[in-house]
Amino acid sequence: MGQDVLTISSHMVSADIVPWLGGGLARFSARIGTNEHHLLRPMAQGDLEDGKAHRLSSFPLVPYSNRIEDGRFTFAGREIVLSESERPEMDSIHGHGWKAQWAVDDQAEDWASLSFRHERGPWPFSYQVTQNYALTGNALTVALLVTNLDESPMPVGLGFHPCFPGQKTALLTAPVEKVWLVDDKILPTEKAVPPTEWNLVGGVPLMGMRSDNLFTGWRRIARIHWRDSEIGLSLRAGGPLEFLHVYAPDGKDFFCVEPVSHVGNALNLSRQGQSDTGQRVLAPGETLEAWMRLEPFLPRF
C-alpha cells in the first residue's frame, strides 16, 4: 500500500500500520493456503490517500473515547471547551490519537513501537502516548500507554476502535450484563437489560442489530464468527477496558466492536453524580496502560 505504510508479519498473519494517520491499522489479515481472510475491514487505497482516519481498520482512542456533549465539560473547577464549531461532535469524538501523526520509535519484522506527544491546546493538558504493535504466533496485540506530562491532574480514557467486515454474515458473542441506552445525539441516558436482539451472551447476528451502544459488565472477551467463512476471530482486552461499545450501522456491511475504559460523555456524567462511568484521572507523571489482542481461530459450527 505504499512506502508510508509499515507492514509487520508472523506465521499466517500480517498487518499494515499507518504511522502518519492516527498510528492506526489499514489491514490485518490471515492467509490459509491461497486464501487471504481480512480479519479487520481493509482500508481502501483512495481513503488512505485522502487521509480518512474514520476509514482505518482500527485506531487508538486517547485521551477519551466516544462523544463529549457539546464539546465541553467542567473539570477541577474550570470549564473546558473543545469545539466552537456548529457540529461539536465532530471535534470532540474519540480524542486526539486517531487523527495525530505518530513517530516510529522502533520496529522489527513482527512488531513496531510508535509514539506521539500532545501539547496543551483546547484540551489543556500535555501528555505522551506510546502504542506498541506485536505479532506473537497468529495473534496481534496492541498496547497503549499514556503518561500525564502536565503539572496538574488530567482526566483520561483509553480504548481501541477496530472495524470488521461482513456485517451480513457475522455473529457476535460476548459476556455482558447491561447496555446504555442513548438519545438522539447518541449520548448515554440510562442502563437497561439488553433486549433479545442485543443478547450478546447467547450470540447475535450483527445484521439488523442497529446498535451504537455501550455494554457494561463485560468480561473482556468477545468472539466473532462469519457464517460464510472458514475463520473466526477472538478479541481480548486488558487494563481498564471494562466496557464494550458495539457499532452496527443499518444498511452497511461493516461493524465495530470497541473495548473502552469508560462510558461515552463520562466527563459530564461523572460531574452529574454518575459513579460507574469508568472515568479516570491521572496524577502528574502517572501512566495508564491498556491492551487489545486479536486472534483468528477456526470455528466449529
Q: Which cell numbers hold the place of 279?
A: 472515568
Number of other CB atoms surrounding residue 175 within 10 Å: 14
Query: Which residues are CB-contacts of 101 (< 8 A; sequence separation ≥ 6)?
Result: 19, 20, 21, 116
Q: What is the pLDDT along the chain (301 residues), one digit of tens a residue?
A: 445 899 999 989 999 999 999 999 999 999 888 888 999 999 999 999 999 999 999 999 999 999 999 999 999 999 999 976 666 666 689 999 999 999 999 999 999 999 999 999 999 999 999 999 999 999 999 999 999 999 999 999 999 999 999 999 999 999 999 999 999 999 999 999 999 999 999 999 999 999 999 999 999 999 999 998 889 999 999 999 999 999 999 999 999 999 999 999 999 999 898 989 999 999 999 999 999 999 999 865 4
Residue 1 within a domain: no
d(CA 291, CA 236): 8
d(CA 174, CA 47): 31
With contact defined as beta carbons under 8 Å apart, do 205 and 226 qualify?
no
Residue 34 within a domain: yes
CATH number at 54 reads 2.70.98.10
Total domains present in the chain: 1
In which domain, by residue range, is 89 found? 6-297
- Give me the DSSP letters along 228-244: T-S-EEEEEEETT--EE
Residue 37 within a domain: yes
d(CA 93, CA 121): 16
